[in-house]
Amino acid sequence: MLDAPTRPGAAAAVCARVLLSPWSRLSLLLVLLAAAGASVLLLQPQRLLAHGWPPHLDGAAAAVVFAVAYGLCTVAFVPRPLLNLAAGALFGSQLGLTSALGGTVLGAGIAFGLGRFLGQDALRPLLRGRLLQAADGQLSRHGFRSMMAARLFPGVPFWAANYCAAVSRMDWPPFLLATALGSVPNTAAYAVAGARASAPDSPAFLAALACIAVPALLGTAVAWRKRHHLRRRPRTPGETAAVAVR
């Protein structure tokens, strides 16, 4: 009879442990991402951008609203080049760049937070492959430098870099700072291209295209040269000690 009052509390505790378990949180993350991707397919935000969204606003207020929408769209896997071009077309080079950068940092922060709080505990035990261990070690030990490279050189999808960093042991400040600084050149190039799209033969538009293409080629070349380092299996502490003894 004395145990009867404690049964509801015990059941609630069990339910809380199940709901807050790593795999339950990972399942929630997957559901949220699937819902975000489906909403993009159904709502097609590119149609709103083509008609001059956001409506009834102009200047800085419109740029702030666009930055918030930009961040949410990146979480929903909308390609950043499309959003950067839209920012330049809607607000011009300078204000478009500012709005796009704000949205970039906001979207990266949201994705990093979702991955860190909902997916890290479940996914870290699965990092057994060589490439996964190498990427995790690089982000955990050299987070700022690695994220700067990922942002400067196109090739790594924006969402993939966000969630890989979230699963690693990378801290918030270097992630956000590297994202803000590393995204400037590419974002500026797309914003200028969007602002000057009506004059495709202008020097500014051609220079923007060059700033988009050259980093992409350099990133491909660097990734090709570094491919052997990623394939190399990381040494365990025991192996490292054995090499030191030799």
Read out DSSP for 156-191? S-HHHHHHHHHHTT--HHHHHHHHHHHTHHHHHHHH
Residue 126 has pLDDT above 60, yes or no: no
Q: In terms of Cα–Cα distance, which of 111, 110, 168, 114 is closest to 143?
A: 168
Would you state the pLDDT for residue 246? 45
Would you state the pLDDT for residue 176? 96
Largest pairwise CA distance in the chain:
86
Residue type, 194: G
Contacts of 134 (CB under 8 A, 6+ apart): 229, 230, 231, 232, 234
Calculate what percentage of the chain has a pLDDT beyond 90.
25
Query: What pTM, to 2 d.p., does this model score?
Result: 0.74
Q: What angle do CA 154, 115, 165 make, to 5 degrees?
A: 40
The tokens for 21 are: 């378990």
Residue 104 has pLDDT above 60, yes or no: yes
pLDDT in tens, 141-157: 888 988 998 898 877 88
pLDDT classification of 1: cutoffs 50, 70, 90: very low
Would you state the pLDDT for residue 131? 53
Token pair 């035990």 in the structure block, residue: 125
Alpha carbon distance 59, 49 (integer Å): 16
Start-to-end CA distance of the chain, whole Å, equals 68
| Mean per-residue pLDDT, 159-185 | 90
Residue 173 has pLDDT above 80, yes or no: yes
Burial (CB < 10 A; 0-12, 13-18, 19+), residue 81, is middle
Do you find a cis peptide bond into 54, omega within 30 degrees of 0?
yes
Contacts of 161 (CB under 8 A, 6+ apart): 147, 150, 151
Alpha carbon distance 152, 216 (integer Å): 9
Would you state the pLDDT for residue 181? 94
Q: What is the mean pLDDT of the chain?
A: 77
Burial (CB < 10 A; 0-12, 13-18, 19+), residue 242, is exposed
pLDDT in tens, 205-221: 888 888 887 776 776 66
Alpha carbon distance 243, 246 (integer Å): 5
Would you state the pLDDT for residue 20? 57
Residue 198 has pLDDT above 60, yes or no: yes
